[in-house]
Amino acid sequence: MKKYIITAALSVFSMLSVSAQAKKNTQVSLLYQNYISIKSALASDDAEKASKAASQFIKSSSDVKSNIISEKELTTIKEDARIIAASKNIAAQRKSFYQLSDHMIALTKEFKVSQNPVYVQYCPMAEASWLSDESKIINPYYGKSMLSCGNVKSVIK
């Protein structure tokens, strides 16, 4: 009987732990989806759309609890997104996207943000990486002028 109670208690604890991790992943997944919207807007040379997507990213980041992502890290990614949201200059937005991408790559390695593979891509001209939900290169750093410049650096599953 004691063995059954211990096994049942461990099962409940395991389910709660999985549920808590799923909730954390969901909150970070929302950030990832907003990040992808920023990346897509930059790749299509649309500063206004990038600004709106960054505003949504900031809103989503406000819902992330500091026990999931440190307050320092949240502040950093919010600041990167604020610069993108406040600017109507695509070059300035892209410059801030460098830092945002570095932070999002680290978060994506820590949390499962998608059921599908997440591609870490790299542009040698910009000397910068970004995340993508597809293997096809659609470069946010140069947009239409060099849309396919880059390669897949790694895959996060």
Examine residue 16 and state whether it is found in any structural domain, yes or no: yes
Asked whether residue 90 is assigned to any structural domain, the reply reads: yes
Helix (H) or strand (E) holding 118: strand 118-123
Do the domain assignments include residue 146? no
Q: Domain for residue 29, yes or no?
A: yes
**Confidence class for position 3, pLDDT limits 50, 70, 90:** low
Please tell me the predicted confidence (pLDDT) of residue 10.
Answer: 43
Q: Is the predicted pLDDT of residue 94 greater than 90, yes or no?
A: yes
Dist CA 42 CA 50 (whole Å): 6
Per residue in 9-48, pLDDT (tens digit) is: 444 444 433 344 444 567 889 999 999 999 999 999 999 9
* Within a domain: 51: yes
Nearest Cα neighbor of 62 from 75, 44, 50, 80 is 75
Give pLDDT, residue 28.
87
- Give the domain extent around 34: 2-110
Instruction: Report if residue 63 sits inside a domain.
Output: yes
Band (106; pLDDT cuts 50, 70, 90) = very high
> Domain count of the chain?
1
pLDDT, tens digit, 9 for 90 and up, residues 113-132? 899 999 999 999 999 999 99
Residue 94 lies in a domain: yes
Q: Is residue 89 in some structural domain?
A: yes
Average the pLDDT over each of 5-14, 41-50, 71-80 and give the range with the smallest value: 5-14
In the prediction, which pLDDT does 49 show?
Answer: 98
